[in-house]
Amino acid sequence: MPLVKLSDDDEIAPNLAPMIDVILVLTIFFMCATRFEDRPRAIDVDLPQVGSAASAQPAQPLMIEVDAAGELLFAGEPLALAALTPRLQMLREERGDVSVVVRGARSASHGTMAEVYQSCRAAGIRGVAIAVQTQPGRSGAGPVVNE
């Protein structure tokens, strides 16, 4: 890089213009040389065909409703609290990853809700959400599930 001295009072400094030109030329070269393809294929592969394929859509969460009297509705059907854990375990073994939404009445006892959460944990369910209804005009830490 040539050193430039404009006058006797100036310090000697490197000339950066040629270096910037080279960087710009290299940038343009690499932009033009890059292939913009989704999937580059090295060889042509004849993929097998299937009659039907399973969708990769996530499953809808299961609904557990708790009314004011402490009665449970599991997927719309009445269910005893003692039968909740085995039913969730069976579904988790069938489906794999299962998520649950608990809809509890405002007047449902805290103890009943805690037992429902404990049943979900005992069954190995990691995705447990609470359904709430937000009041208009209020903000803050939002609910897990909003209806």
**Domains of the chain: which residue ranges?**
3-33, 62-135
Q: What is the pTM of this model?
A: 0.53
Alpha carbons 124 and 88: distance in angstroms, whole number: 8
Q: What is the pLDDT of residues 12-47, one digit of tens each?
A: 778 889 999 999 999 999 888 887 665 656 666 666
Averaged over 116-142, what is the pLDDT? 77
DSSP single-letter state for residue 83:
G
Topology adopted by domain 62-135: Nucleotidyltransferase; domain 5 (3.30.420)
Alpha carbons 80 and 116: distance in angstroms, whole number: 11
Mean pLDDT of the chain: 79
Say if residue 43 is exposed, middle or buried (CB neighbours under 10 Å; 0-12, 13-18, 19+). exposed
Contact 125, 62 (CB under 8 A): no
Q: Can you read off the two tokens belonging to residue 86?
A: 């085995």
Quote the strand ranges of 6-90, DSSP E: 13-14, 62-66, 72-74, 77-79
